[in-house]
A = this chain, B = another copy of it.
């Protein structure tokens, strides 16, 4: 079974940005010695000041080195670390794409001590000051050993994920890259294409924007430079899936143009089935949910009052959406609850003076 005892430290972090420093803090929380390395001495001082560890010295001999540098630099830095490290040091990285870095070191004499990994954690901020030890709590953390990796190296990297509170998910590097092409990179590109159709559209037309188009395009607000590195670094898997999507888009276009309602409905039904394939909360099968819609005055404290009243009802709120339609004098808040409890929440909120909608 999985356990954290394989990891005794010291752990060296190469690249103390958001992810690297967060891993350092989680390791310190677990009582491990942490060594910090970065091309910027300022970053090391900052991370050190946050309690993330101390600057590495030439005498140190880490058990595990975690490479947390930008996507395009990964291969070269992993190779350098393998060159310089002691004979027992294990090396991992935390990049968003896994086949590329492995290929860069496949011929290295010490490749058996390299095991790639990928924590699925938010990166909308950057730098050590944004770091925190809880960033990975309960998140999936892909562990992607190559064919030459030793099982003891894999265990040590898995132990790192567990020390950080994450849920290890074992995949080969190629499988990982196909998975994130599907769950992240192609969705990002498609959102970006939809968002592109809004650039330059007339204000009169955009005035009809509802919550749907906002949801679809939200991720396209991410940094184009970073996502170009991530998506570009996973070119083969992204291109294969994107070509499939293009073929289905052609079918959709044919169905729309040709008035083929049955074909169109079947494409939409296939998509609906796909939304149900996404794992539900905490990995459970998705439960049928119902939305309770409530009008909320747009003032500080009103959401607090709503959630206090919802909390008193004893019905757990699974998700929340706030409607931002233009011109709306009050906000519309949708509270998602397990379908069987929706009536109870409606009644509880109405009895406290809230206007709810079904």
Interface residues of A, Cβ cutoff 8 Å to B: 120, 122, 124-125, 129-132, 134-135, 137-140, 142, 167, 169, 171, 175-176, 178-180, 182-184, 186-201, 203-210, 212-225, 227-229, 231-232, 235, 238-239, 241-246, 248-250, 252-253, 256-257, 259, 261, 264-283, 291, 293, 295, 298-312, 314-322, 324-330, 332, 355, 357-358
Contacts and interface: CB of A to CB of B under 8 A. Distances in A.
Contact of A253 (B243, B279, B316): B243
B257 A235 contact: yes
Contacts of A224: 265-266, 268-269, 271-272
A208 B186 contact: no
Copies in the complex: 2
A192 B267 contact: yes
A344 to B, nearest CB: 12
B194 A190 contact: yes
Contact of A221 (B130, B132, B275, B325): B275
29 contacts: A129-B358, A131-B358, A135-B357, A137-B329, A139-B328, A169-B204, A171-B204, A175-B205, A182-B205, A187-B194, A189-B268, A192-B270, A199-B270, A215-B216, A215-B218, A220-B272, A224-B269, A224-B271, A229-B261, A235-B259, A239-B256, A246-B249, A281-B326, A282-B298, A299-B316, A303-B311, A304-B310, A319-B324, A320-B322
A205 B17 CA distance: 27
A183 B210 contact: yes
Given A208-B142, A213-B187, A281-B324, A193 B275 contact: no
A238 B220 CA distance: 21
B325 A232 contact: no
Contacts of A275: 195, 198, 217-218, 220-221
Contacts of A180: 208
A120 B328 CA distance: 12
B189 A252 contact: yes
Contact of A244 (B197, B316, B329): B197
B198 A212 contact: no
A182 B210 CA distance: 11
B272 A198 contact: no
A170 to B, nearest CB: 8
A340 to B, nearest CB: 15
Contacts of A191: 190, 212, 216, 271
From A250, A300, A304, A320, name the one whose CB has the most chain B CB atoms within 10 angstroms.
Answer: A304
Given A195-B275, A224-B269, A274-B198, A204 B175 contact: yes
A268 B226 CA distance: 10
Given A232-B261, A325-B120, A213 B183 contact: yes
A272 B231 contact: no
A137 B298 CA distance: 13
B216 A190 contact: yes
B319 A312 contact: no
